[in-house]
Amino acid sequence: MAQKSSTFITETRERETWVRPTFEREGQGETEAEQALAAAALTRGVLQSIPVPEEAEERARALAVQQLQQQLVERSTQRAPQAPWYLRLGRVMRFVFTLGRRR
C-alpha cells in the first residue's frame, strides 16, 4: 500500500471546514471535533482511493431497470390476494343481518 505524503492530512482537514463550526455550535469539546476530522479524513481517503469505471453508472442504471421490469412481470403473473374464509363469511353475515333493516 502506498503511503500518502504528510501534507495529505492537512489538505484533507482543510477540505472539512464544516466540522469545527458544527461542534463549536453544539458546544462539544475539541476531542470530538478531532475525532470527527479523523473520521472525515479516513472516509474521504477511502472514497478517493476506489477506482470507479466510467461505465459503472450506466451499468447500475441498466441493472435497476432490468430488476424493476422483472418485478413488474412477477406482480402481473401473481393472483390477487383473497381474504381468508372467516372474513368472507363475516361479509355475508353482515349482509344477511342488515338485509331486512334497509327497507
The phi-psi region of residue 4 (left if phi > 0; otherwise alpha if psi is between -120 and 50; otherwise beta) is beta
Q: Length of the chain, please?
A: 103
Full-prediction pTM beyond 0.75?
no
Positive/negative CA dihedral, 4, 7, 8, 10:
positive
User: Based on the number of CB atoms within 10 Å of its own CB, is 16 exposed (0-12), middle (13-18) or buried (19 or more)?
Assistant: middle
pLDDT per residue over 10-21, tens digit each? 666 666 676 667
Task: In whole angstroms, give the CA distance from residue 61 to residue 30.
Answer: 43
* Residue-level pLDDT at 92: 80
Q: Which residues contact 81 (CB under 8 A, 6 or more apart)?
A: none
* Residue-level pLDDT at 20: 67
Query: What one-letter code names the amino acid at 84?
Result: P
Given a cut of 70, is residue 4 above it in pLDDT? Answer: no
Domain extent listing, the chain: 7-52
